[in-house]
Structure 1
Amino acid sequence: MEYENKSLSIKAWAEDDRPREKLLLKGKSALSDAELIAILIGSGSRNESAVDLSKRILNSIENNLNTLGKLTALDLQKFKGIGEAKAISIITALELGRRRRLEEALEVPKITSSKSVFEIMQPLIGELQHEEFWIVYLNNSNKVLLKEQLSKGGLTGTLVDVRLVFKRALDLFATAVILCHNHPSGKLQPSVADKSITSKLKLAGETLDIKVLDHLIITENAYFSFADESIL
């Protein structure tokens, strides 16, 4: 058939299958990740629709949008049907999403749970390829006063200066702190060093009446909370 020799563009699909129309009719949340990416790229190849191409890209990275956001234009162009312009569209959309999430994290929210800490810190350290240790300083209403990097690199007791942590807390009139660091490996279980640093800072805080409310280990899409696991 002549139709089979044409590029499988979104315009050629049945109306119910068109992601643009679906978005307008049912809202953006009704679309799958593949359908959203299909809108960005517009068309697939001769034998593959834009949605199928998007599914193939997502399947290659285990459907992880964080991983997709790390792909370069050259990485994306390895997929048949993705040229430079389409690769740039995908990269641009994901970067805008990352920046939006970062701006939301900078709105000085109130901490109500370990999840709210994760939502604040993940855009800052969740996707790094090296470890960073941060302190979140809170007032007596659990509102964030400051987020500050304490160390960068491998996490050992020598990298944590207890005096600096609590000097800053006193300067800010903070009444509590939350410890955060990332695990680039993706593993969430705390190490012996993680537990040791937590105990060291908690003990120091008690003498100043500054509580260590939690310690979060953060990865790309998950976290471990010492408080939630009752090991603080």
Structure 2
Amino acid sequence: MKIDKKNSFSSRSLKSWHIADRPREKLFQKGSAHLTSSELLAILIGKGNAKENAVQLSQRILSSVNYNLVHLSKMGLSELTKFKGIGMTKAVTIAAALELGRRRQRAETIDSPQVKSSKDAYQYIKTYVEDLNHEEFWILLLNRSNKIIDQILISKGGVSGTIVDPKLVFKPALQKSASGIILTHNHPSGNLNPSKDDIRLTHKIKVAGKYLELEVLDHLIVTSTGYYSFADEGTL
């Protein structure tokens, strides 16, 4: 007997599912907190492929990153489109939803952007760099009350490093009349230990800051699982 793939269960859209199996209806009736990550992702992609429904495809995508949403956030569009049933439009939808999640995290810090510890600085900057697969060097500019004036991207690099010109670090700080600076950069490898270049650069910028009366308060190395603080470790 020939099977009509258009009408088979595996290829049906969410609209044709039994109501108890529809993630959209489940969200409407019970709220988003009652949905699994696979069901939430299924709502974004709408339907699966000839062999998988939307939830099954979502489960396979999440399984590829051990159901770790941080790792999913690091997947590029080209990686997402390798899954059958995920075209560029769906990949862009997933990437947009994940970016909204990151921005929501950032918005939570805006109400109280005062840095009282290295953890405060980490919580503020991590959503900018924790999911990147390349290195970026940022600075946080603080006023005399240690409130964040601005965050500035100084440079982008590759997987293993980025080049930083100290002049570019101090230019925006002087323009915005900052009283202090916190240096930050990410390690995509997940390694929290500073390299020799990290240590040399930190010392160079700290010394230059003294002449400009701009104190370098800390340098954070950020990963998706934690951070290293030069100030906390006594290496600043």
**Structure 1 stretch 88-97 or stretch 192-201: which is displaced more?**
88-97
With 188-197 and 143-152 compared, the bigger mean Cα shift is at 143-152
Q: Which residue of 1 aligns with 2:150?
A: 146
Instruction: Output the CA distance in 2 between the equivalents of 1:30 and 1:120.
Output: 29
What 5-or-longer segments of structure 1 have no aligned partner?
Answer: none
Moved more, 209-218 or 187-196: 209-218
Query: What is the match of residue 41 of structure 2?
Result: 37
1:71 lines up with 2:114 in the alignment? no
**Within 5 Å, which residues of 2 pair with 1:43-192?**
43-45=47-49, 48-69=52-73, 70-72=75-77, 75-83=79-87, 86-98=90-102, 109-153=113-157, 154-155=161-162, 159-161=164-166, 165-166=169-170, 169-192=173-196
* Cα separation, 2, equivalents of 1:28 and 1:87: 21
Q: Is the 8 A contact 1:34 1:51 kept in 2?
A: yes
Aligned pairs, how many?
A: 225
SS of match in other structure, 1:214: strand
Aligned mates of 1:26, 1:113 — CA distance in 2: 39
| Aligned pair partner of 1:197 in 186, 194, 201 | 201
Correspondence for 1:12: 17
Structure 1 contact 186–219 (Cα < 8 Å) conserved: yes
Amino acid at match of 1:31: L
CA spacing shift, 1:19–1:221, aligned 2, 3 Å: farther
Kept in 2, the 8 Å contact 1:108–1:145? The answer is: no
TM-score, with structure 2 as normaliser: 0.70
RMSD (Å) for aligned C-alpha atoms: 3.8
> Residues of 1 paired with 2:50 and 2:162: CA distance?
51
TM-score w.r.t. length of structure 1:
0.71
Question: Identity across aligned pairs (percent)?
Answer: 49
Q: Which structure 2 residue ranges, 5 or more long, are not aligned?
A: none
Give yes or no for contact 2:220–2:230 (8 Å, CA) kept in 1.
Answer: yes
Change beyond 3 A, Cα 1:5–1:22: closer
Q: Deviations over 1:131-154 (max 9, x none)?
A: 333221101222222323444444
